[in-house]
Amino acid sequence: MMGEAAYHIPVLLNESVSGLAIRPDGVYVDLTYGGGGHSREIIRHLKTGKLIAFDQDPAVISHLIQDKKFHFVQHNYRFLANHLHYMNIAQVDGILADLGISSEHIDNPERGFSFRYEAELDMRMNPDIPGSASDIVNQAPESELIRIFREYGEVSQASRVARIISETRKIQPITTTIGLADCLRQLVPGNKEHKLLAQVFQALRIAVNQEIESLRVMLSQTAGLLREGGRLVVISYHSLEDRLVKNYIRAGNEEGTVQSDLYGRTRVPFRAVNRKVIVPDAGEIEQNPRARSARLRIAERTEYQA
């Protein structure tokens, strides 16, 4: 296991924590504990407040923060409302979600997230959930593979990728990361294979962990859990995630359509704090290249006529 400092470099750390507008006595939620970088910075601003952190990955337990202001929930963040209710917490002052995967997932070959290492094709953030990436690759109908690659990875050659996989698995199951990478390399020149493999592996990871569905469920809970003036802070890494977050902030629903009542009055649950999406600067990208695709949006809980 890596040391704490190297375990995960938090993306847009200052911008995201500043976006929470932390009150020293407030109650905050970090929905994606990961390496704990964002949580540690949040706790640094608390005096009598509380931080509740979620993560479904049991690997994070070995480096949890030891602080009386900190409470950890080993579960998917889609169950946010359930756990807060169980803790008798009706509302919170801020919710932070860094939707990216941690360095533990990418750099630990045994997890099967990366095509850089030989490993079982797994990709489960929670090893206890049913269905690995190998199961999808070897069992999903070709039409479903096309949908996964097109929708979750924005793969321009989704049909060709699905066909190659379908033909390969008839001969021999594809059970390793390198096995999947090798069968796809024939589709693109060597100088472009990294992009295709990154898109395919991203799409499989999202499908395995049901990330988009969990994000939809989580976002739908936030308006009811944040106090008036509370902040929602979300860092996303691809367009599908960012579009959902943007639409929810704009209108309180995933379509981004502002609803009107019988009198033509429109009320939305959030006010966008940053009208323009926040991205890492060149210095941060140089220090942490994985931050390159990060997009930060901040919203304040309110209810007003649009």
pLDDT, tens digit, 9 for 90 and up, residues 67-84: 999 999 999 999 999 999
124/202 same-domain check: yes
Task: Give the model's pLDDT for residue 5.
Answer: 40
Q: Are residues 67 and 129 in the same domain?
A: no
Mean pLDDT, all residues of the chain: 92
Domain of residue 269, residue span: 4-103+211-305
Give the confidence band of 101 by pLDDT, cuts at 50, 70, 90: confident
Q: Are residues 83 and 225 in the same domain?
A: yes
Q: Look at 278 and 189; give whichever has higher pLDDT.
A: 278
Instruction: Give the length of the chain.
Output: 306
- Give the pLDDT score at 104: 63
Half-sphere exposure of 27 (CA within 13 A, CB side): 12
SS (H, E, C) 22-79: CCCCCEEEECCCCCCHHHHHHHHCCCCCEEEEECCCHHHHHHCCCCCCEEEECCCHHH
Tell me: do 201 and 114 sit in the same domain: yes
Q: Of the candidates 162, 183, 209, which is a domain's last residue?
A: 209
DSSP 179-202: HHHHHHGGGS-TTTHHHHHHHHHH
Indicate whether 97 and 219 sit together in one domain. yes
CATH number of the domain encompassing residue 256: 3.40.50.150
Model pLDDT, residue 105: 66
pLDDT of residue 103: 63
Lowest mean pLDDT among 1-10, 47-56, 233-242: 1-10
Domain count within the chain: 2
Do 198 and 222 lie in a common domain?
A: no
Distance CA 63, CA 72 (A): 11
**For residue 193, is pLDDT > 90?**
no
Give the pLDDT of residue 3.
40
pLDDT of res. 108: 73
Residues 155, 94 share a domain: no
| Domain match, 24 and 95 both | yes
Q: Nearest-CA neighbor of 32 among 94, 84, 95?
A: 95
| pLDDT for the residue 49 | 98
- For helices 193-209 and 177-184, give the axis angle rounded to 10 degrees: 130
- Beta bridge partner(s), residue 298: 233
**Cα 227 to Cα 25: distance, rounded to the nearest angstrom:** 14
5-10: average pLDDT:
61
Q: Are 218 and 287 found together in one domain? A: yes
Kindly report which listed range (83-92, 130-139, 256-265, 279-288) carries the lowest average pLDDT score. 256-265
Q: Which two tokens stand for residue 158?
A: 């989704």
Residue where one domain finishes, among candidates 171, 194, 209 = 209
Whether residue 16 is predicted with pLDDT greater than 50 in this model: the reply is yes
Q: Of all residues in the chain, what percent carry a pLDDT higher than 90?
A: 79
Q: Is the pLDDT reported for residue 112 higher than 80? A: no
Residues 148 and 121 in one domain: yes
Both structure tokens of 119: 């490993």
Query: Residue 97: helix, strand or coil by DSSP?
Result: strand
Domain boundary, last residue among 194, 209, 224: 209
pLDDT bracket for residue 6 (50, 70, 90): very low
Do 152 and 200 lie in one domain? The reply is: yes
156 Cβ contact list (under 8 Å, min separation 6): none
Query: Are residue 30 and residue 166 in the same domain, yes or no?
Result: no
**CATH number of the domain enclosing 139:** 1.10.150.170
